[in-house]
Structure 1
Amino acid sequence: MINTQEMDGWARLGPLALREGETAQAQIYACLREALISGYFQPGEEISLRRTAAVLGTSVTPVREALRQLESDGGLEVWGGNRVLRVPILTEAELNDIRDIRLELEGFAATLAIEKITAAQIRIIANACAMMRRAADERNADRYLESNWRFHKLIYRAAERPVLMGVIEGMWLRVGPLIRHAVTSPNHFARSMESHDLAEQALRDRDADALRAAIVKDISDAAIDLGATLKQNEGGAD
């Protein structure tokens, strides 16, 4: 059985310790963006302004601005007659579009990363892969998804292409909430870890083609589970 620790996204967040030198809005935005990418919240889940402020332990004003920014990014949407903010529910066409964009951009970023990545960065990425492996063995979806995003993010950031990285993060922002459901698919962990192990070895070998192939395999395999999950959710809503 998959262990999701029986807690919702709010319980995973907790109070936010604000840092000096950076606005509260920027820190709240970064926190919520990371939470959406890591699948803390479910598709269709409402994101209340006051509840968010209460959970993070901040005032309402910077939360309001952060939520507006996330709406602008496509991570949240206004829904219903009461115009509440919620996590978007992807259509099959949107999911396929995101998959195709990810295949091109993340494969490209991985190829660029090989040219610049350092031995120290590879060690950190290998650590993220090891954490994923332990989480997979324990069937712990929370830790797996957090390490999964960290693994991919570290590879792509090594390319030193901030605009490209921003677009990639935008795609993960949209698909992250659905990924949490997809990990319950049979053999998802095994297929996913096979791709990650191949990617780690390609990094050690500094083989750009092998790294790109591993990333493409990972995205393609995950897309199958995401599509199946989307259909199940649509069926449940009928």
Structure 2
Amino acid sequence: MTQNLLDLAGIDRPMKTTLRDQIYTRLREAIMAGRFLPGQHLGIIALAEALNVSAMPVREALRQLVAEGALEMLPNRMVKVPVMTHERFRQILGIRLLLEGHATELATPHFTDAQCDRLQELSDGMAAALAENDAETYFALNQDFHFTIYKASNSDVLMQHIRMLWLKMGPFIRLSYNQSGVKATEVNHGEAIAALRAHDPVAAANAIRMDLMEAAEVIQEVNPAAFTDVEPTAELHVLDEE
């Protein structure tokens, strides 16, 4: 966990952006990119020290992430990356297939050659990161690959919901980092790029859906410890003000 925390350092504040918002954004992006794993505990003090900030803005950012379901509150100024049941995982996957497939279909008709070239650069970068066994760069580029497509849908509503789903699924997506998972991703991304160049919305959406489904299959088969048989019960804990 230490490396994950240290990599979050370097918070800066553009004008009119609060420190709390900067911390929230950085932590949200880290969760979406799979920088933290299911079941991992995070302490307010450790996060604040890694970010070189006081505990208060970290606490406020964590409260929002808890409210959004990205983290679970624990006692003693700790939060946890949630685990989930297989059934909940499948439900979220089903919604992702609908929304991310639809976003891809909307993006395809006007997707440009320059955007396809950008996807190829990201795919090549993923291959280079894989060769260096750099999982964090690999999944950051994977996220960029998907969102480059989804943003081209020009649908703010779709993007809002897709981001919320990635916030819940990011820690699990990281668990697809093995030989079968990365090979399937390489093939599916290549097919998506080809379909986008051909302006074939059905083929492009199918490639993205296949990417999601095959990653989900690897995650569930190879990482049973990330799941629970019982839906967690909601317990009220408060991040104290000390």
Shared fold per TM-score greater than 0.5? yes
Deviation larger for 207-216 or 130-139:
130-139
Length-normalised TM-score, structure 1: 0.88
Deviation larger for 25-34 or 56-65:
56-65
Correspondence 1:179 to 2:170? no
Aligned amino acid, residue 53 of structure 1: A
Aligned amino acid, residue 167 of structure 2: L
1:226 corresponds to which of 211, 219, 231:
219
Length-normalised TM-score, structure 2: 0.87
Taking the aligned partners of 2:136 and 2:170, their CA distance within structure 1 comes to 12
Structure 1 vs Structure 2: percent identity of aligned residues?
35
Tell me the residue number matched to 1:3. none
2:17 corresponds to which of 7, 14, 22:
22
Please list the CA deviations of residues 99-154 of structure 1 after superposition, one character each: whole Å capped at 9, or x if unmatched. Answer: 11111110000001113333333332222122112223333322111100000011
Tell me the residue number matched to 2:33. 38
Quote the offset at 1:55 in angstroms.
1.1
Q: CA RMSD in A?
A: 2.0
Please list the CA deviations of residues 149-185 of structure 1 after superposition, one character each: whole Å capped at 9, or x if unmatched. Answer: 000011101111112111111111111112222213x
SS at match of 1:61: helix
1:113 corresponds to which of 107, 118, 121:
107
Correspondence 1:72 to 2:67? yes
Taking the aligned partners of 2:62 and 2:184, their CA distance within structure 1 comes to 35
Aligned amino acid, residue 165 of structure 1: M
Tell me the residue number matched to 1:207. 200
1:131 corresponds to which of 109, 125, 128:
125
* Structure 2: gaps spanning 5 or more residues: 229-242
Tell me the residue number matched to 1:84. 78
Taking the aligned partners of 1:171 and 1:49, their CA distance within structure 2 comes to 24
Quote the offset at 1:7 in angstroms.
6.2
Taking the aligned partners of 2:222 and 2:84, their CA distance within structure 1 comes to 11
SS at match of 1:187: helix
Distance 1:143 1:51, change over 3 A: same
Deviation larger for 155-164 or 83-92:
83-92
Q: Is the 8 A contact 1:8 1:41 kept in 2?
A: no
2:152 corresponds to which of 158, 163, 174:
158
Taking the aligned partners of 1:65 and 1:193, their CA distance within structure 2 comes to 38
SS at match of 1:78: strand
Quote the offset at 1:59 in angstroms.
2.6
Q: Is the 8 A contact 2:101 2:205 kept in 1?
A: yes
Correspondence 1:143 to 2:120? no
Taking the aligned partners of 2:227 and 2:117, their CA distance within structure 1 comes to 41
Taking the aligned partners of 1:205 and 1:232, their CA distance within structure 2 comes to 41
Quote the offset at 1:40 in angstroms.
0.7
Quote the offset at 1:82 in angstroms.
4.4
Taking the aligned partners of 2:6 and 2:191, their CA distance within structure 1 comes to 34
